[in-house]
Each structure stands twice: as structure tokens, then as C-alpha cells.
Amino acid sequence: MGTATHPERGAFRNEPLTDFSKPENKKAMEQALAKVKSELGREYPLLIDGEEIRTGETTASVNPSHPDQVIGRFQKGTPEHAHRAIEAAHRAFDPWKRVPAAQRAECLFRAADILRKRRFEISAWMIYEVGKTWPEADADIAEAIDFCEFYGREMIRLSGPQPVHQVPGEKNVFVYIPLGAGAVIPPWNFPSAIPCGMTVAALVAGNTVVLKPSGDSAAIAWQLVQALYEAGIPKSALHFLTGPGSSTGEALIADPKTRFIAFTGSKEVGLRISELAGKAPKGQIWIKRTVLEMGGKDAIIVDDEADIDAAVDGVTVSAFGYQGQKCSACSRAIVTEKVYKEFVDKLTGRVQSIKVGPSEDPGNYMGPVINAKALKSMEEYIEIGKKEGGKLVAGGKRAPGDGYFLEPTVIVDVKPDDRIAQEEIFGPVLAVIPAKDFDDALKIANGTEFGLTGALFSKNPQKIARAAEDFHVGNLYFNRKCTGALVGVQPFGGFNMSGTDSKAGGQDYLLLFLQGKSLAERLPKS
């Protein structure tokens, strides 16, 4: 089953990353930062059925590098606005689903071209609004482009009759049809890629969408919505809703006309969505489909037979890229005792050299964490780790500056059942856990409620084969970092409390937004 090609665009290929060592790219990024800076602080409406709505009450999105800098002010939508938005999406479903799949796919291809054209500008929004560094922001928008290109081709592949066996005297057809109107609820940490991927997957499949972004990244979501409108997505098919998750979000999920919910975020919120979606209020005629990508407590195993320098590099990038604020980030390094001291010594030196500061400065490897609440939680976990008997060897305190800066933190000699080895911290705090041998390391790696990503550093083919069978995660890597899954290459999603293993960027992802219909016709006797 191959990925469909496009007659003009050819086979799918991942979008190349930007080389910022080239002067022209550095200059383009600096110009984009200046342009976006001049646009900060604006007020943005709700968008329901093409109408701009202001509620009279707003909340501010701020720059975590400089919290006194307002990125944008967004409407505090109410449950009534949520019901109105899903009602409008429900009305638009029938005309949108009748648009041929190839035309819907063309909207995605045009969106990809628009995002390419605005690549530096949208990266600048991410640098300001969520504290992404230049390379992290660039990779984020590249992934959004990949989703548009990949899902457009996938919908072409899935459109029309699918292969089935035929029997004498009948004509049998199997087709995929869309679900209906749905809610897309993305997180702030991949503010371009994840909302884009979930939204365009639902839309290209023929569904309509109410997009409710995180309040920490609503300005970036606004940019995405505008690009999709420009690409030809009708304003009746895509609605923009901001407001509190506990009221507006829950109303959107519970509405009887909501057919599906696509969510990426924490385990706690994902379970709450699953609970709400499992109830059938009066007037609801379907079981709601939920696509839930939740948290992780991802581990990298460093085996006796590993290249230690390569393992240090892989752990460092995985643990501290984008300040550890990725559901795929390495938060546990599990190291066998024969190489434990060597690994810890080399890792400590590497981490202590990491430069932390405002994300707009390309000289900083790490920027801020997302907000004050997150920073406080991370500091509390560091204290918990020390009280549990862990030894702090790097970081552990705030970094200089007026933003939400935390030094990259390494706590060693952590026990497998310690809280910092079990609970998702979602920040630059790494627990290093000693293991007796490879079997013990594998047992520790599997010893959490999550199962999202993992990695093994080892030169032993037998151990790699054993991990492939028994390391229970949705995305497993060998002798490389455990972050950076590529669309079409490493379909992304995890097991257990990491979600419904939705496999974003894979060939079965669009099926989550479709349902199968079998048609059988008795043929007349000749």
C-alpha cells in the first residue's frame, strides 16, 4: 500500500529544514522577527461561520522570554459560543463533504505553498509566543507543511472505491465517508504542526472543524486559520474558538452535534475528554470518535555496549531540545552500571555548557519554559527529586533574565519508582537511573503508565532485536535521539496512557476521521 502521488507535485517528500548558517536565511529570519514584532499586541475575534465576534472580555497571550510583552489578546468565548460554532460546523458538513476529495486535497496543497511563503514569519510568531528557538520553530513549520502535503495525497489514495472481493451475481463496493462536525483541541508546544495536522486531516477527509487552540499559542493558530482560508477552505467549514477549557472547551466536547474530538495534550485532560465523549446527551445519535495523543515519560536506555559519546549527544538533544517541552522528550536516561559513571560525567559537562536565554537570540540553545505556572511546577519537581535521594549534578535553578528561564537540570541516582521517574514534568529536568544490566534497564523503561517514545543506544544486534520486541512504546529509536519523528517516515503516537496511538503522519491516520460504508447490489440475471 503505497502513498499516493500527485500528477504535478509528485511523490511525498519531507520539507527540508532551513540552514541558518547561510547569511540569506539569517537575514530573512531577522526581518521576519522585526515584522512580527510590529504586529504584537493586537486583539483577535472569534470566527464563527465567517463572522468576527468580540465577547467584551479577553485574555492575553504573552512572550515567555519577556512576559511583559503581550503577543495578542483573545476573546473569552463562552459555552454558548461553543454550541454556536459546532452548530455552524454541523450545518456546513453536508455541502463540504460533497466537494470532491481531489478538490479538498488541492486546498491542502495550496496551504502548503502559503506556509512555505510565510515560513520565516510563522517561525517568528512561534519564537515570540511560545519561546521556540530558531531551529525548533523552523522544524515546527516544516512539519506543518509536511502534514498538508502528506494528508492531501493520502485523501486522494483513500477516495473512491477501495479493493474488495467480488462474488458472482453481485457488485460490491467499499468506500470511506467523513464523520461530521468535530472539535480540534491542540496544545501549545507544537503550535503550528499539531493544530495544522489535526485540522487539515479532518478537513481533507470531508469533515468540518471547530479549532480551539491553547491560550498560550492562539496567535499562531490564528495565522494557520488565515492560511487555510486563503487556500480555499470555506469559513463555514472551519471556525476559530478561544476560551477556557473548563467551560468553553467542555461545552464543545459535550455538544450532541460534535461527532469527533481530536486532542493532543496532558493525560489528565485527555482522560477528561474521553469521559465526556463517552456520554450520550439527549439528541446525540452517534458514539463520538476520540483521537487522543497524551503524555509520556520517555526513556533512553544506554547499554554497556553503547557508543557513550553518541548516547550523551542523543540524550542531551532529546531531553533539552525546546526546553524538554515535547511529549516525546527524554525525561529518563536509564544507564547500565558498567558505563554509568562515564555517562554521567560526560553528560554533566555537556549539559553545563548549554546556553539559556531569550529565543529570539539565535545564540541560545534553550529558551524559556511556557509560563510561570509551568516553571513553578518544574522547580517543585526538582525539590522532590532531591528529597527522594537524587543527586543534582547540573542546573536546578532559574537562569538569568526576566523570562521563565530554567537551567537544564540533571538529577542522577534516581530510583525507578521515584516521582520524578514516574510523573510527566514536561520541562528540562532529566532523571538518570542506574540499571544492573540490559534486562533490568528494559524492565525499568517499561515501568511507567506511559508508552510514547523511547530509544536504545547499543552496538549489540541481539539487544536491539530484543528491544524492538519488548520495549513497549509507539515510537522506538536505536542509536539516535527519541524526538523528531518525521511525517510519512515515523508515524507518531503511543500506547497505554500516552493515548490512542493515533499515528499522526502515517497511512492510517486519516481513517480516524473517516468511516467505512459497504454497498452491495444484486445484478440482474443475464
Residues belonging to the active site: 293, 327
C-alpha span between 252 and 87 (Å, rounded):
10
Type of residue at 366 = M
Map residue 507 onto helix, strand or coil. coil
Full strand arrangement of the beta sheet holding 289-293: 51-53, 46-48, 238-240, 208-211, 181-185, 260-264, 289-293
CA distances from 126 to 38, 187, 212, 304 (A): 15, 13, 17, 40
Burial of 404 (0-12, 13-18, 19+ CB in 10 A): buried
In the chain, DSSP finds a helix count (H) and a strand count (E) of 15, 21
Q: HSE, CB side, 13 Å, CA atoms: give it for residue 225.
A: 27
Q: H or E segment at 256?
A: none
Distances (CA, A) of 17 to 139, 142, 143, 188: 6, 7, 10, 21
Contact criterion met (CB below 8 Å) for 404 and 374? yes
Alpha carbon dihedral 140, 145, 151, 157, in 10-degree steps, equals -140
